[in-house]
């Protein structure tokens, strides 16, 4: 019974975390649409986080209805002339030039020039992109960077044969900078059977070794060298704000590359 309760508790925590993260991502995305639309003079009817019955909301001085829906799985910005929350265009297309000009002056989204509509549409994903860089960068600045140090060396492993020792800090592999242990794992995993030049810091001196990753037993297409990593919170080094932004950009790009 205690195990079942722990499983249920873990599931609830996971679901709650998912809802919180999704809500933040959706809010940032829709806020991007909202801000650019307001900047371009587009009339906005509703800004909603979630769908369904309104839990609470208010209308601001510019007439925008802000609300939170009962189903927190998404959100939307509804423009004044949208047919629905999906920003569907009105059924009747404005053909008359005078009527089109009047609709544009009123700020109706679907009557705006292509340039304005394109900027509003692109603002959502672009804002998510910038926010992701900022969020990852803030975490890196607050908690520092993982140090790619060796905690232990497996006997009769490529690392042992190359002369790596516990305490060594790997700085580069084949000329590619190793900023954290994940970088090291990635470069090694991609090179089974290929000799690599590894530069490590040992007792404040640089040492260079040649190392040939072996194929992993569970996946022969991936390499390993037989080391473990010190993942303790104390094994981190502080970084400055500029470098933190670089880390944020790198992490964001890695996620984009992984998701295709």
As annotated, the active-site residues are 30
Contacts with 251 (C-beta within 8 Å, 6 or more apart), sequence order: 132, 136, 140
For residues 58 and 19, give the distance between their C-alpha atoms in angstroms, rounded to a whole number: 22
Other residues' Cβ atoms within 10 Å of the Cβ of residue 1: 5
Please name which of 200, 209, 206 lies closest in space to residue 149, comparing C-alpha atoms. Answer: 200
Helices (H), the chain: 2-39, 97-105, 114-143, 158-162, 181-189, 241-259
For residues 125 and 251, give the distance between their C-alpha atoms in angstroms, rounded to a whole number: 16
Please name which of 139, 130, 170 lies closest in space to residue 243, comparing C-alpha atoms. Answer: 139
Q: Identify the bridge partners of residue 172 per DSSP, sorted by sequence position.
A: 177, 199
- Looking at residue 86, the DSSP 8-state letter turns out to be T
């Amino acid at each position: 019974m205690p195990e079942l309760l722990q499983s249920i508790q873990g599931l609830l925590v996971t679901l709650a975390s998912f809802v919180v993260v999704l809500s933040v991502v959706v809010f940032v995305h829709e806020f991007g649409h909202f801000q650019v639309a307001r900047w371009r003079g587009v009339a906005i009817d509703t800004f909603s986080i979630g769908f369904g019955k309104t839990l609470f909301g208010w209308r601001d001085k510019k007439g925008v209805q802000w609300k939170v829906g009962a189903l927190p799985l998404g959100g939307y910005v509804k423009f004044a002339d949208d047919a629905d929350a999906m920003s569907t265009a009105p059924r009747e297309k404005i053909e008359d030039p005078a009527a089109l000009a009047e609709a544009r002056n009123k700020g109706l989204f679907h009557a705006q020039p292509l340039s304005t509509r394109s900027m509003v549409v692109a603002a959502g994903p672009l804002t998510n992109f910038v926010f992701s860089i900022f969020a990852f960068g803030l975490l890196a600045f607050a908690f520092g960077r993982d140090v790619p140090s060796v905690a232990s060396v497996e006997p009769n492993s490529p690392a042992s044969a190359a002369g790596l020792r516990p305490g060594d800090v790997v700085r580069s592999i084949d000329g590619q900078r190793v900023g954290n242990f994940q970088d090291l794992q990635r470069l090694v995993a991609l090179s089974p059977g290929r000799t690599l030049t590894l530069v490590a810091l040992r007792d404040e001196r640089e040492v260079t070794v040649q190392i040939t990753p072996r194929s992993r037993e569970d996946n022969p297409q991936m390499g390993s060298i037989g080391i473990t990593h010190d993942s303790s919170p104390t094994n981190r080094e502080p970084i400055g704000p500029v470098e933190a932004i670089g880390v944020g950009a790198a992490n964001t790009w890695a996620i984009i590359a992984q998701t295709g």
